[in-house]
A and B are shown apart, each in its own frame.
Chain A
Amino acid sequence: MYDSFSVLVGGKAGDGINEAGNLIARLMNRLGYRVYVEVDYPSLIRGGHNFSIVRCAREKVGCRTDRLDVVMALNDETVERHAHRLGGAGTLVIDTGSVKSVTPDEADEGDDDPSDESRGGDLKAGGERGGSGQDDSEEGDAECIVMGVPIAAILKELQAPPVMRNTCLLGTFCRIAGISWEILEDTIRQHIPRSLEKNLEVARRGYEATRKRESLASLDLPALPVMNGNEAVGLGLIRAGCTAYVAYPMSPSTGLLHFMASVADDCSLKVVHPENEIAVILMALGMAYAGERAAVGTAGGGFCLMTEGVSLAGQAELPIVIMVAQRPGPSTGLPTYTTQADLHFVLNAGQGEFPRLVVAPGSAEEAYYWSAVAMGLAWRYQTAAFVLADKAVCEGSYSIDIDALPPLPEYDVPLWDGVSPYRRYARPDDATAAGTAGTPDDMSTGASADAASAGTSGESADATAAGTATAEGSAAPSAAVPPGVSPLAFPPLPGEVVKVDSYEHDELGVTTEDNVETVLMQEKRVRKWCALEEEIDRLEAVKVRGDADAPTALLCWGSNGSVCREVADELGLRMVQPLVLSPFPTRQFEEALDGVERLICVENNVTGQLVKLLRLHGFDVDDAIRRYDGRMFSLEELTTGVKEVLQ
């Protein structure tokens, strides 16, 4: 277990718990900590129980610990449900206006300067705190203290609005954590610029209402941006040339729609929220026909409505990126919780056989990188590319360092060379006069620029160039025009027509039921599929972490990547995480399992969807650890689970 510090803020929906957690995360981030924020809330606007757990460490983290250092309770339920998780020198902070089940301990003179207990560079304040298993609350209960802050009274006295409750909490947290007033003031100035003076006053009162309990030193690490997975997906899409985002709100994907709408002006994005998910995907495909690099996002229920569009993208060979954010089903299920139960749905949605890319990021960094790859490959191969995320990734916030990622690969879009006649579904590989690929540069300078339309394709070409202008050392993409791919062009195209068709069609795009033509087109799509499989093999499609030579491996996908990496590090195991699930990276997976004698698959579903997928590709799994209550594994739970399996 990485040395870390965890704070939980809990209250009713409507109390602004998320915002309080995010503020604490940003503050810790500025001190050089790597943070992870898990938010747990029911599908309600007011009432219910909400909490946010902020975990901070020197290493990158992406899961919660059961063990908490500080609990900040805005209601009795928080005390009841979470206070017992406080470890040895833990602190329970209560809002004395709303928490009645406990009372604050008497202040102990001299408590304010525990300099002898200073954590310094070591996050663990004296003694063994790293318990494992769920029931670790007994040890050191005596040292756990309760502090009270009369939040409502403070706000009333200062005539501050209820939202400033968070600022008060932030002040309280800083004092307890031993973070200086200067740093706090700085953070508030940057992140809460509205009503600055009032906020500072409120924070000051929160700060003064408590005592110092810890001395969280600032680390000598650069502060990183903090982002949730939804935002990171958006950022990756934008980086790779996304020009349009179309979506209908559905948890846990809604954050991506909000993010794209909020940056639309700055990023020249066309953001549309149409009447339903059917319109969403069909509109996006219409945009793609016109040369717009469109993406859509939804959760399982909305994706049900989109499946006809997925198959259309396959047949009409239109590029599209689809983010599917998983939440527990069947049907409406648990809207605001997490799962990994839509893998086979996404792998198989849509009638017929056609290539599709499915990537499954497990953190904000992976979400950024793989969403960019998805956009690049959707356009290079003219088909549907999925970013299969889960609630834990979409709504979890992470410290993100894009410079720590491998350089983004450059994916050229094979463009029409301008030699007439244009055939939207040309099969250059079985034609004698194979068209050569136009690179984006050719498009903007060469004769082909006139041949393709001036407006949209020019923009699209720019987008491609911009989306791929990364440093050297990036994975080299394959040949100019991959097998099965027909060079693209967009209307208007003087003297030519661009015909796309949902029926089987000939090279021009005219419907056909001819048996030979059908075979050739089916095989064209399969050739693209195989080329795509080779393409993903040039990326780190299967991640291996932990002890790469260990004979026991933890296998996982999506958001479980972080918790599995940490458990693997702790227990000396190998961690294997396929990031691409279609086409399945068989070669890399085989390599990743080299020397593995025991394979334990960790998933958030009941039936073992990754296990089933692996079986299809000839791999067997020895043990499975599954959680399907809509919650993520905590570090201690998974550690215990793995130890039990290994016993």
Chain B
Amino acid sequence: MSDIADLDISGAGSRRPQPAVMEGAAAPLTYAENTWCPGCGNFGILNVWKTLIDELADNGVPRERIVVVAGIGCHAKIADYLNLNTFYSLHGRTVPVATGIKLGNPELTVIAHAGDGDCYGEGLEHMLFAAKRNIDISLMVHDNGVYALTTGQYTPTSPRGFRGKSTPGGSAEQPINPLELAVAGGATFVARSYSRGAERLRQTMLDAVLHRGFSLVDILQVCATFNNLYSYYNERTFDMDDNDPSSRTDALNRIGEWTYGGDGRIALGTFYRSEADTFDGVFRDIDRSSFDREAAVRDLLARRV
């Protein structure tokens, strides 16, 4: 009778045994098999999470209130690996999804893990608007300068001349500086970190998550397979200790020292940090406990007689 599917869909089909859940609800990771390449910088970020969960709990964010949103790309597999609330979304769309979750329930702590192709290419507009709104979410960009999951094309942060599979003669475009854009957009927390150096990364991610407002951490995450920049980064990165994160001018100057290519030294740490009203605050005080829908509808109708 139904035109939908000519199938026996009674539900009695063969059923694969479910994988054991985790070692327990407290385990940081799920049973999902990790498929990142050996030496991949994503491991460094995942490892930080193992301690970050407890640290956030110590800072008043119990793990059930954490929601991780991921895009699509190698970076995004973190959604499967983390034994946390997750929304494994679409390529380029972590930010609107994370924004929606935060607006839906402002009591949640929402952290987006995005790729550089994902967030600076496919979905750049969303990042600027999240900064503009100062929505209280954190954006961790696994910036490996390459579309890794699609096996190696140039991204918005690849340097000019980058030889990827779609630009075999070398990219003819200048890279963008995402941190400049974020500051220009109005972000209230802007930092850069590196997938190597667990302690620095842990501290920056923690600061970003606890920051009230929109925070961006551009994480130089090495793709061991398609863009191995370990030695490039090891030679050039350094921890900033003399900057003034409250000064926008200072922040923009420091951010401009390295242009995602070339020989400049690469500063790591928090460039900019300020306080401002958050967009989710607009919806915080909605109380629906006594809202009578039938009465509201009748009232709206009565006003139109």
> Can you name 5 A-B pairs with beta carbons within 8 Å?
A268-B287, A279-B95, A499-B85, A505-B88, A583-B3
Interface 9-mer from A63-71, A128-136, A285-293: A285-293
* A226→B305 CA distance, assembly (Å): 6
Give the residue of A494, A499, A583 whose beta carbon is less than 8 angstroms from that of B64: A494
**In the complex, which residues of chain B have a beta carbon less than 8 angstroms from the beta carbon of A490?**
105
* A246→B103 CA distance, assembly (Å): 11
**In the complex, which residues of chain B have a beta carbon less than 8 angstroms from the beta carbon of A519?**
13
* A223→B105 CA distance, assembly (Å): 41
- A279 near B293 (CB under 8 angstroms)? no
Answer yes or no: B23 CB below 8 A from chain A CBs.
no
Shortest distance between the CB of B132 and any CB in chain A (Å): 9
* A526→B85 CA distance, assembly (Å): 26
Shortest distance between the CB of B236 and any CB in chain A (Å): 35
- B7 near A526 (CB under 8 angstroms)? yes
Shortest distance between the CB of B134 and any CB in chain A (Å): 14
**In the complex, which residues of chain A have a beta carbon less than 8 angstroms from the beta carbon of B65?**
491-492
**In the complex, which residues of chain B have a beta carbon less than 8 angstroms from the beta carbon of A498?**
85
Shortest distance between the CB of B33 and any CB in chain A (Å): 10
* A616→B18 CA distance, assembly (Å): 39
Across the A-B interface, the 3 shortest Cβ-Cβ residue pairs: A286-B100, A290-B104, A282-B96
**In the complex, which residues of chain A have a beta carbon less than 8 angstroms from the beta carbon of B11?**
427, 429-430, 483-484, 523, 527
**In the complex, which residues of chain B have a beta carbon less than 8 angstroms from the beta carbon of A469?**
294
- A529 and B13 in contact, given A499-B79, A511-B80 (Cβ under 8 angstroms): no
**In the complex, which residues of chain A have a beta carbon less than 8 angstroms from the beta carbon of B287?**
268
- A312 and B2 in contact, given A492-B65, A492-B107, A496-B25 (Cβ under 8 angstroms): no
Answer yes or no: A501 CB below 8 A from chain B CBs.
yes
- B288 near A243 (CB under 8 angstroms)? yes
Shortest distance between the CB of A526 and any CB in chain B (Å): 5
Give the residue of A263, A290, A466 whose beta carbon is less than 8 angstroms from that of B292: A466
- A279 near B129 (CB under 8 angstroms)? yes
Answer yes or no: A623 CB below 8 A from chain B CBs.
no
Chain B, range 1-41, C-beta contacts under 8 Å to A: 1-5, 7, 9, 11-16, 18-19, 21, 25, 30-32
Answer yes or no: B238 CB below 8 A from chain A CBs.
no
* A527→B5 CA distance, assembly (Å): 9
Interface 9-mer from B154-162, B259-267, B296-304: B296-304
- B72 near A239 (CB under 8 angstroms)? no
Answer yes or no: A495 CB below 8 A from chain B CBs.
yes
* A292→B100 CA distance, assembly (Å): 9
- A239 and B96 in contact, given A499-B79, A533-B4 (Cβ under 8 angstroms): no
Chain A, range 1-52, C-beta contacts under 8 Å to B: 26, 29-30
Give the residue of B3, B86, B90 whose beta carbon is less than 8 angstroms from that of A497: B86
Which bracket fits the contact residues of A?
35 or more
Q: A227-B301, A282-B96, A308-B90 are in contact. List 9 more A-B contacts (CB 8 A).
A: A225-B305, A235-B297, A268-B287, A268-B288, A286-B101, A290-B100, A491-B64, A497-B83, A505-B88
- B125 near A508 (CB under 8 angstroms)? no
Give the residue of A223, A267, A289, A402 whose beta carbon is less than 8 angstroms from that of B100: A289
Interface 9-mer from A93-101, A270-278, A563-571, A592-600: A270-278
Give the residue of A272, A459, A503 whose beta carbon is less than 8 angstroms from that of B103: A272
- A275 near B126 (CB under 8 angstroms)? yes
* A584→B62 CA distance, assembly (Å): 46
- A421 near B21 (CB under 8 angstroms)? yes
- B80 near A510 (CB under 8 angstroms)? yes
In the complex, per-residue mask of B162-181: 1 if CB is within 8 Å of any chain A CB, else 0: 00000000000000000000
- A238 near B293 (CB under 8 angstroms)? yes
* A308→B69 CA distance, assembly (Å): 17
**In the complex, which residues of chain A have a beta carbon less than 8 angstroms from the beta carbon of B97?**
282-283, 285-286, 289
* A496→B304 CA distance, assembly (Å): 47
Name the residue of chain A whose CB is nearest to the CB of B11. Answer: A429
Answer yes or no: B270 CB below 8 A from chain A CBs.
no
- B107 near A584 (CB under 8 angstroms)? no
- A533 near B304 (CB under 8 angstroms)? no
- B85 near A284 (CB under 8 angstroms)? no
- A500 near B88 (CB under 8 angstroms)? yes
Name the residue of chain B whose CB is nearest to the CB of A262. Answer: B300
* A316→B19 CA distance, assembly (Å): 20
- A286 near B87 (CB under 8 angstroms)? yes
* A316→B101 CA distance, assembly (Å): 15
Name the residue of chain A whose CB is nearest to the CB of B94. Answer: A282
**In the complex, which residues of chain A have a beta carbon less than 8 angstroms from the beta carbon of B129?**
274-275, 279
* A243→B100 CA distance, assembly (Å): 13
- A238 near B296 (CB under 8 angstroms)? yes
**In the complex, which residues of chain A have a beta carbon less than 8 angstroms from the beta carbon of B31?**
510
Chain A, range 45-100, C-beta contacts under 8 Å to B: none
**In the complex, which residues of chain B have a beta carbon less than 8 angstroms from the beta carbon of A308?**
90, 93
* A508→B88 CA distance, assembly (Å): 12
- A456 near B67 (CB under 8 angstroms)? no
**In the complex, which residues of chain A have a beta carbon less than 8 angstroms from the beta carbon of B297?**
235, 238-239, 402
* A226→B99 CA distance, assembly (Å): 36
**In the complex, which residues of chain A have a beta carbon less than 8 angstroms from the beta carbon of B128?**
275
- A290 and B101 in contact, given A282-B89, A511-B88 (Cβ under 8 angstroms): yes
**In the complex, which residues of chain B have a beta carbon less than 8 angstroms from the beta carbon of A496?**
25, 64
- B90 near A312 (CB under 8 angstroms)? yes
Answer yes or no: A507 CB below 8 A from chain B CBs.
yes
- B100 near A517 (CB under 8 angstroms)? no
Shortest distance between the CB of A72 and any CB in chain B (Å): 23
* A462→B302 CA distance, assembly (Å): 24
Answer yes or no: A438 CB below 8 A from chain B CBs.
no
Answer yes or no: A160 CB below 8 A from chain B CBs.
no
**In the complex, which residues of chain A have a beta carbon less than 8 angstroms from the beta carbon of B79?**
499, 501
Answer yes or no: B111 CB below 8 A from chain A CBs.
no
In the complex, per-residue mask of A237-248: 1 if CB is within 8 Å of any chain B CB, else 0: 011110110100
**In the complex, which residues of chain B have a beta carbon less than 8 angstroms from the beta carbon of A616?**
3
- B104 near A526 (CB under 8 angstroms)? no
Answer yes or no: A106 CB below 8 A from chain B CBs.
no
Chain B, range 49-79, C-beta contacts under 8 Å to A: 62, 64-65, 67, 69, 72, 77, 79
- A278 near B62 (CB under 8 angstroms)? no
Answer yes or no: A224 CB below 8 A from chain B CBs.
yes
Chain A, range 346-394, C-beta contacts under 8 Å to B: none
Name the residue of chain A whose CB is nearest to the CB of B282. Answer: A270
Shortest distance between the CB of B203 and any CB in chain A (Å): 25
- A502 and B126 in contact, given A272-B103, A526-B7 (Cβ under 8 angstroms): no
* A507→B100 CA distance, assembly (Å): 24
- B64 near A493 (CB under 8 angstroms)? yes
Answer yes or no: A622 CB below 8 A from chain B CBs.
no
Answer yes or no: B98 CB below 8 A from chain A CBs.
yes
